[in-house]
Structure 1
Amino acid sequence: MADDHTLFREGVIEILTTANDVEVVGEAHSGADACEKAAALHPDVVVLDVEMPGQGVRETIPQLRRVSPRSRVIVLTMHDDIVLARELLALGASAYLVKGATRHELVSAIHSVVVDRGPGHVILSVSQQGLDRADQAPGDVLSVREREVLALTAEALSNSQIARRLNIAEGTVKRHLRNIFRKLGAVSRLDAVNKGVAASLIPASPPREKD
């Protein structure tokens, strides 16, 4: 179980320890910690939060699959976002559950991914509202992290400043910006910000001077 919020992590662990056929072999507070523990313990399942200190979930999932190929990854997140879900499932997660899921749904997901129903089988649990976002305008396909990067770009922060603010690598910021430009059809940072504001992806705010 990997989550940086101790109280939530302990609550999930308590739920899992009362379930039949589920044994919690380790816990982690960050993506890097989860990868280190998985490499040592090779668990059947890693339950992973999206927002944790250090490396992002997009880096953590492929790394988990490399260091412990037999482990299945279940994303447990507050983000009811079908676009993010599709992205993380494509990266190798076996299940995506919002934190409003019941204990029965979580335990059932663990049992299901361990059984492994074959290539292409994934478990997705989002609300109807989350599913409806897939039919919205092209600008709405930005992931949660891409919106964060775009919002900080709107504050006139440099790539290195954004990287420090989000605690990610500068190269990751550049990759997010490339994806943002492609998805929004933008040709510059200013163009991306203007289109993001027009699509209500980020709030309109006056630019400020760089630090």
Structure 2
Amino acid sequence: MTDPDERRIRVVLADDHTLFRDGLAELIQTDPAFHVVGQAADGDKVLELAPALRPDIVIVDVEMPGPGAREVVSRLRRLCPEATVIVLTMHQNSRIVQELLDCGAAAYLVKNIARDQLIAALHAVNQSPRNVLLSVARETLGRGDRDAGSRPLSAREMEVLRLTADAYSNSQIATRLGITEATVKRHLSNIYAKLGAVSRVDSVRKAMAARLINPVIDSGRDGDRPPG
């Protein structure tokens, strides 16, 4: 007798927030067509799990530990060519959208998407993997590279950016500034959008190029750096 799970659409989730990831798994499996076969909290883990689990769909976040989103999407497409990669994130940035689609993502969805829209999107990309599916604000697509770096960073965003350049983690930045990790992530999202960056490293590189911060090697603050 055929195992019923073998007929279901296999999904792997990658997001560094356990509560969100568990809730997303439960939500997806309210549709009997789907079976969440694995979860990962960082880019390295999803790259390890996906080839072994042979998913039909891999859902990844943009901002999580490990390799950057572009590398994760590109390597997933090479390691699991039969799998469809969906980006599910809070970031709405035209450059990030375009670069991840260029890397092979089949869909770019924002986390405020409704449950029914998410389920419909999963069915759509599974049925037509060659099509591209977007769920972002219309004005996001209207912002080109000409807008990158045109909006100044706030004082708090500059603090977060400097600590990011000094290799502090989100939790360390939150502790140092007396804010929550969610607030740190929101500041990073704003920084990415304003600088036209797609990752922590990219934001630091662009900030140094724009002379918003000094090169890290010249910062002279080794005593303030977190332990390796």
Q: Same fold (TM over 0.5)?
A: yes
> Any gaps of 5 or more consecutive residues in structure 1?
141-146, 167-172, 182-188, 197-206
Compared CA separation, residues 2 and 93, structure 1 to 2 (3 A): same
| Partner secondary structure for residue 27 of structure 1 | strand
- Kindly indicate whether residue 140 of structure 2 is the aligned counterpart of residue 122 of structure 1: no
Q: CA RMSD in A?
A: 3.3
Compared CA separation, residues 117 and 6, structure 1 to 2 (3 A): closer
Compared CA separation, residues 138 and 24, structure 1 to 2 (3 A): closer
Structure 1 residue aligned with 2:141: 131
1:60-139 maps to which residues of 2 (within 5 A)?
Answer: 60-116=72-128, 118=130, 121-134=131-144, 137=147, 139=149
| Partner secondary structure for residue 143 of structure 2 | helix
Structure 1 residue aligned with 2:210: 192
Compared CA separation, residues 176 and 80, structure 1 to 2 (3 A): closer
Q: Give percent identity, aligned residues only.
A: 41
Match of 2:61 among 49, 61, 77: 49
| Partner secondary structure for residue 51 of structure 1 | coil
Matching residue's letter, 1:79? H
Matching residue's letter, 2:108? Y
Contact preservation (8 Å) 1:79, 1:98: yes
Q: CA deviation at 1:2?
A: 0.9
1:101-180 maps to which residues of 2 (within 5 A)?
Answer: 101-116=113-128, 118=130, 121-134=131-144, 137=147, 139=149, 151-152=161-162, 162=167, 176=202, 180=206
Aligned length: 171
Q: CA deviation at 1:117?
A: 5.3
Runs of 4+ in 1 over 3 A off after TM superposition: 207-210
Q: CA deviation at 1:19?
A: 1.0
> Any gaps of 5 or more consecutive residues in structure 2?
1-12, 151-156, 171-198, 223-228
| TM-score normalised according to structure 1 size | 0.68
Contact preservation (8 Å) 1:82, 1:126: no
CA distance in 2, matches of 1:31, 1:83: 20
CA distance in 2, matches of 1:135, 1:54: 26
Structure 2 residue aligned with 1:19: 31
CA distance in 2, matches of 1:38, 1:11: 20
Q: CA deviation at 1:40?
A: 0.2
Q: CA deviation at 1:180?
A: 4.1
| Partner secondary structure for residue 34 of structure 2 | coil
